[in-house]
């Protein structure tokens, strides 16, 4: 009996639907080409595998290489799946999607040092090791980090899976895995190592396998190999038989019968006492996805008929690469009265290999209508690229009668965001008089394109925000000194630069008007989170690096809420002498240092004079401190801030608001959330008090708005 998995793509009232959503409606609103996935199809695929193998209670590790979209991965992680990864990038995505490290297995024949160290630090479940050199590198890194590693050796059992030669991985001529003699030697080495733990054995035969025999043949060889290992005292806890479960791309061709496979391997696995690991990818997500494309033109050349669509081989390369077959359907249900036509469905890419179907019988197709390429959930978007400078398509998820864009369509700007143009290429190296710095402003303008910026404000704290992922700004401090002055530059309390990060969605760099770089800025953090969301770089929730640690944010309709780092233990009732008398305040670090003084009437403080003297007081050297004056009235705090780096009063300060709220709780028992009123607007500070002077889960909420957008055409160092 074949799989009973139903299709979640069907015609209703003449329109093709996914679940309860008409695909034509999505195509009109989002544009084409676009990938669309069915939530319930994905869920049913996972549950079908889980149910078929339920007697073995396997760990099912979804293969991210099939489709690494974070939303799809999060759905599977929520269902209880683990992750099968093959790179450091996939490890990062798996963790971002919510797969727990103790359910992540790391395969692949070419893991590099950086990837292995990353995986060790994250304490992943198992490394599937494929060579002696890789094993030595893992052991060396384990020793250096003093961190144990759980090892499973990948065996190449020399079994022909009878699939396409590009996607078979279990034959001796393939690059993957170890032969049995190599594996036996390495298991002995692992057993002797103090930091390596031999926990499993792994094989993976390839992809799109629809027959049981390759799995049974390989498993028989693996079980025979385990006997001598047991005699040597090696009882492996896990047998990982990989994935590769085939699906039905073509009508009449059956998928792998996983229920039969599960029944036939049950007794074999059970008698070993080992736990089963599976690594399905295509089987889960392949039937859940379609690629929707619009017909651009029809073209006849003699008897040959071409249908030219707006999707290309860069969007879906499987037909060109493997000669893979995908069913193609019209979004409008075809009428049986019209005879089919024999056509080639081709794309706009300048390659003769750019096709989706050749000599295919299809119902009559007209220019402007939409077509759907079926079963494109796996190895389709994940293998897409930008050849011919074609931005990659959007991705959409459907659940019942709702749908969401889960990846925005790439833009032309996205095509060049990773690139940078070395300035030195466009002036002479030989003649100092022609160096870039010696050129006139007009000459520099001619050489360099204007830099787009967004002026933003958060509760009156204003910033110049720039996407600097392409390193447009190299000398950041000098740039800040040039653009922040209000009479000779753009004017701002600071420059926020959004840059690349390996551990978060992006990195925030902030520079004060004097060129100094603070560790954190609460109002700036809210602004850059809003900026990244508006520019479609992140969703409503994101994380980003700062010099003081990782920040988490959520963009809301009327503001932005960020989770701050836990503040340092406060130094309460710190007395300082300014010459004309002593002043008592409270010192704490909320990403940057703050000295908080509670006063009867905050408006009457000579803030420029007092703030400057406290900012440079010897007790706060060498870095100095920000200074916050606060007045409490009716459970609300009014606050003014002298900000170092700005060297003046700012209309608002986010980290100062957090410092003041914490101090107000300790001194005046104000409870969370503390309302802070600044000259620039209102803020709320939330926190959890977990000890007498210990605060966690600290959140800052307030407005973050775009003031205007512009382009800087001045000099850039």
Q: Is the pLDDT of residue 164 over 50?
A: no
Q: What is the token pair recorded at 526?
A: 């809210």
Average pLDDT score over the chain:
90
For the domain that residue 357 is a member of, what is the CATH number?
2.40.37.10
pLDDT digits (tens, 9 = 90+) for 311-324: 999 999 999 998 89
Distances (CA, A) of 100 to 45, 91, 117: 21, 11, 17
Distance between CA atoms of residues 513 and 527, nearest Å? 17
In this model, does residue 60 exceed pLDDT 60? yes
Structural domain includes residue 4: no
- What is the rounded CA–CA span in Å between residue 420 and residue 289? 35
- Sheet with 15-18: list strands edge to edge: 9-12, 15-18, 21-22
In Å, the largest CA–CA distance within the chain is 99
163 pLDDT tier (thresholds 50, 70, 90): low
Structure tokens at 482: 């040039």
- The single-letter DSSP state of residue 348 is S
Higher pLDDT, 48 or 432: 48
Concatenate the DSSP letters of all residues of 475-508 into one string. SHHHHHHHHS-TTTSS--SEEEEEE--SSSSEEE
pLDDT band at 714 (very low <50, low <70, confident <90, very high): confident
The whole-angstrom separation of Cα 419 and Cα 416 is 5
Mean pLDDT in residue range 33-44: 97
Q: How far apart are CA 197 and CA 193, in angstroms?
A: 8
Does the pLDDT value for residue 462 go beyond 70?
yes
- Does any domain span residue 617? yes
Q: Return the pLDDT at 101.
A: 94
User: How many Cα neighbours within 13 Å face the side chain of 504?
Assistant: 19
Question: Distance between terminal CA atoms of the chain?
Answer: 69
Q: How many domains does the chain have?
A: 5
Q: Are residues 514 and 649 in the same domain?
A: no
Query: Cis link prior to 106 (omega < 30° from 0)?
Result: no
> What is the predicted pLDDT for the residue at 432?
46
Query: Do the domain assignments include residue 100?
Result: yes
pLDDT score for 690 = 85
Give the pLDDT confidence score for residue 73 in this predicted structure: 96
Q: What is the pLDDT of residue 418?
A: 78
The domain boundary residue, chosen from 392, 411, 430? 411
Q: pLDDT at position 403, please?
A: 95
Are the CB atoms for 85 and 66 separated by under 8 Å?
A: no
What pTM, to 2 d.p., does this model score?
Answer: 0.63
Does residue 560 belong to any structural domain of this protein?
Answer: yes
Give the DSSP H/E element, type plus range, for residue 44: helix 39-52
CB contact set of 255 (below 8 Å; sequence gap of 6+): 2, 3, 210, 245, 246, 247, 248, 283
Give the separation between CA 658 and CA 23, rounded to whole angstroms. Answer: 48
Residues 6+ apart with CB under 8 A from 270: 56
Going by the DSSP 8-state scheme, the letter that residue 178 receives in this structure is B
pLDDT single digits (tens) 519-537:
888 999 999 999 999 998 9
Q: Are 10 and 372 in contact (CB under 8 A)?
A: no
Q: Does the active-site annotation cover 350? A: yes
The pLDDT value recorded for residue 524 is 94
- Does residue 2 lie within any of the structural domains? no
87: helix, strand or coil: coil
Residue 12 inside a domain? The answer is no
For residue 717, being part of any structural domain is answered with no
The most confident of 336-340, 387-391, 646-650, by mean pLDDT: 387-391
- Mean pLDDT over residues 384-390, rounded? 95
Average pLDDT of 316-344? 92
User: 285-299, 440-454, 679-693: which has the highest mean pLDDT?
Assistant: 285-299
pLDDT at 490 (0 to 100): 95
Q: What is the C-alpha R_g of the chain?
A: 31
CATH of the domain at 93: 3.20.20.10
Residues 367, 274 share a domain: no
Average pLDDT, integer, range 388-394: 95
Percentage of residues in the chain having pLDDT higher than 70: 93
Give the pLDDT band of residue 382 (cuts 50, 70, 90): very high
Task: Name the pLDDT band for 165 (thresholds 50, 70, 90).
Answer: low
- In a shared domain, residues 477 and 577: no
pLDDT of res. 429: 47
Confidence band for 542, pLDDT divided at 50, 70 and 90: very high
Q: What is the pLDDT of residues 227-259, one digit of tens each?
A: 888 888 888 999 999 999 999 999 888 999 999
Q: Which domain holds residue 146?
A: 40-283
Site of tokens 């149910």 = 51
Q: Tell me the average pLDDT across 662-691.
A: 92
| Residue at a domain's end among 411, 440, 463 | 411
> pLDDT value at position 437?
54
Rounded Cα distance, 175 and 481, in Å:
55
**Coil, strand or helix at 83:** strand
Distance CA 193, CA 210 (A): 40
Considering the domain architecture, whether residues 381 and 441 belong to the same structural domain is answered as: no
pLDDT tens digits for range 584-622: 999 999 888 999 999 999 999 999 999 999 999 988 888
Instruction: Decide if pLDDT at 170 tops 80.
Output: no
Q: CA nearest 135: which of 176, 189, 179, 172?
A: 189
For residue 648, the cross-strand partners are: 643
How far lies 647's CA from each of 87, 416, 611, 651, 655, in Å? Answer: 47, 38, 9, 13, 16
Mean pLDDT of all residues in 188-195? 92
Q: Is the pLDDT of residue 373 over 90?
A: yes
**What would the pLDDT profile of 649-658 be if each residue is shown by its tens digit?**
988 899 999 9
417 pLDDT exceeds 80? no
Confidence of residue 565 (pLDDT cuts 50, 70, 90): confident
Element (H, E) at 113: helix 113-121
| Tokens 């009867």 -> residue | 600
Catalytic member of 61, 73, 350, 380: 350
Share of the chain above pLDDT 90, in %: 68
Confidence (pLDDT) at 298: 95
Q: How confident is the model over 294-318, as a mean pLDDT?
A: 94
Please indicate, yes or no, whether residues 86 and 182 belong to a single structural domain of this protein. yes
- Shared-domain flag, residues 137 and 219: yes
Q: Are 173 and 210 contained in the same domain?
A: yes
Write down which residue in 411, 428, 458 finishes a domain. 411
| Per-residue pLDDT reduced to its tens digit, 355-366 | 999 999 999 999
pLDDT attached to residue 433: 45
| Distances in whole angstroms, Cα of residue 448 to Cα of each of 28, 298, 427, 717 | 39, 43, 12, 11
> Per-residue pLDDT for 166 more than 90?
no
Q: Same structural domain for residues 49 and 75? A: yes
pLDDT reported for residue 413: 83
What is the average per-residue pLDDT within 275-291? 97
Core vs surface per residue 257-273: b (16+ CB within 10 A) or e: bbbebbeebeeebeebe
Do 609 and 545 sit in the same domain of this protein? no
| Residue 33 falls inside a structural domain | no
- pLDDT bracket for residue 4 (50, 70, 90): low
On whether both 425 and 405 belong to a single domain, the answer is no
123 and 270 assigned to the same domain: yes
Q: Which residue has the higher pLDDT, 230 or 79?
A: 79
Give 135-142 contacts, CB < 8 A, sequence gap 24+: 135/186, 135/189, 135/190, 135/196, 137/111, 137/113, 138/196, 139/193, 139/195, 139/196, 141/113, 141/116, 141/117, 142/195, 142/196
CATH code of residue 677: 3.10.310.10
Q: How far apart are CA 565 and CA 567, in angstroms?
A: 6
Does the pLDDT at position 46 exceed 80? yes
> Tens digits of per-residue pLDDT, 104-127?
999 998 899 999 999 999 999 999
- Claim to verify: residue 99 and residue 203 sit in the same structural domain: yes
Distance CA 131, CA 147 (A): 20
């Amino acid at each position: 009996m074949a799989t009973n998995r139903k299709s979640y793509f069907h015609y209703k009232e003449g329109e093709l639907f996914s679940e309860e959503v008409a695909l034509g409606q999505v195509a009109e609103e989002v544009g084409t080409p676009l990938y669309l996935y069915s939530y319930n199809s994905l869920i049913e695929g996972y549950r079908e595998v889980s149910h078929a193998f339920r007697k073995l209670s396997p760990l099912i590790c979804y293969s991210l290489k099939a489709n690494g979209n974070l939303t799809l991965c999060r759905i599977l992680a929520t269902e209880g799946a683990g992750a099968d990864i093959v790179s450091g990038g996939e490890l990062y995505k798996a963790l971002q999607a919510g797969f727990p490290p103790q359910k992540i297995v790391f395969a692949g024949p070419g893991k590099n040092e950086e990837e292995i160290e990353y995986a060790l630090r994250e304490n992943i479940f198992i490394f599937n090791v494929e060579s002696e050199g890789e094993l030595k590198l893992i052991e060396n890194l384990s020793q250096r980090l003093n961190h144990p590693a759980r090892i499973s050796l990948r065996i190449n059992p020399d079994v022909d899976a009878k699939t396409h030669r590009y996607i078979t991985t279990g034959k001796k001529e393939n690059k993957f895995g170890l032969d049995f003699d190599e594996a036996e030697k390495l298991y002995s080495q692992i057993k002797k190592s103090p930091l390596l733990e031999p926990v499993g054995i792994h094989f993976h035969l390839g992809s799109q396998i629809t027959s049981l025999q390759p799995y049974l043949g390989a498993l028989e060889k693996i079980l025979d190999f385990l006997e001598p290992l047991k005699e040597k005292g090696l009882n492996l806890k896990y047998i990982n038989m990989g994935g590769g479960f085939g699906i039905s791309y073509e009508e009449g061709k059956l998928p792998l019968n996983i229920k039969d496979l599960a029944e036939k391997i049950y007794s074999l696995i059970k008698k070993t006492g080992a736990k089963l690991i599976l690594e399905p990818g295509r089987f889960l997500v392949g039937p859940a996805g379609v690629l929707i494309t619009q017909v651009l033109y029809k073209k006849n050349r003699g008897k040959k008929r071409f249908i030219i669509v707006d999707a290309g081989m860069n969007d879906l390369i499987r037909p060109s690469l493997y000669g893979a077959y995908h069913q193609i359907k019209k979004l409008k249900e075809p009428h049986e009265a019209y005879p089919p036509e024999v056509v080639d469905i081709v794309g706009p890419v300048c390659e003769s290999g750019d096709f989706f179907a050749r000599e295919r019988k299809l119902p009559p197709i007209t220019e402007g209508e939409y077509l759907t390429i079926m079963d494109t959930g796996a190895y389709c978007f994940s293998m897409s690229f930008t050849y011919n400078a074609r931005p990659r398509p959007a991705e959409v998820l459907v659940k019942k009668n709702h749908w969401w864009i889960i990846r925005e369509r790439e833009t032309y700007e996205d095509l060049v965001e990773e690139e940078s143009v070395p300035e030195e290429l466009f002036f002479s190296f030989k003649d100092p008089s022609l160096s870039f710095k010696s050129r006139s402003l007009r000459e520099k303008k001619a050489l360099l394109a204007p830099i787009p910026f967004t002026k933003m404000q958060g509760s009156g704290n204003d910033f110049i925000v720039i996407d600097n992922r392409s390193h447009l700004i190299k000398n950041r401090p000098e740039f800040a000194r040039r653009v922040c002055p209000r009479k000779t530059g753009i004017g701002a309390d600071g420059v926020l630069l959004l840059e690349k990060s390996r551990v978060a969605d992006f990195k925030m760099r902030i520079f004060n008007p004097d060129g100094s770089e603070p560790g954190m800025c609460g109002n700036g953090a809210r602004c850059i989170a809003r900026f990244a969301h508006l520019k479609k770089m992140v969703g409503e929730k994101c994380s980003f690096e700062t010099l003081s640690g990782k920040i988490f944010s959520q963009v809301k309709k009327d503001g932005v809420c960020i989770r701050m780092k836990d503040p340092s233990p406060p130094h309460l009732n710190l007395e300082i002498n300014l010459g004309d008398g002593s002043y008592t305040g409270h010192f704490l670090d909320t990403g940057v240092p703050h000295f908080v003084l509670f006063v009867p009437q905050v408006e009457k403080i000579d803030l420029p004079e007092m703030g400057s003297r406290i900012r440079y007081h010897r007790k706060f050297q060498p870095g100095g401190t920000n200074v916050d004056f606060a007045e409490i009235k009716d459970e609300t705090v009014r606050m003014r801030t002298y900000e170092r780096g700005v060297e003046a009063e700012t209309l608002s300060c986010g980290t100062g608001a957090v410092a003041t709220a914490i101090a107000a709780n300790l001194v005046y028992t104000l409870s969370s959330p503390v309302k802070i009123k600044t000259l620039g607007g209102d803020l709320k500070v939330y926190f959890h008090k977990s000890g007498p002077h210990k605060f966690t889960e600290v959140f800052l909420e307030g407005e973050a708005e775009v003031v205007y957008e512009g382009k800087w055409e001045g000099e850039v160092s």
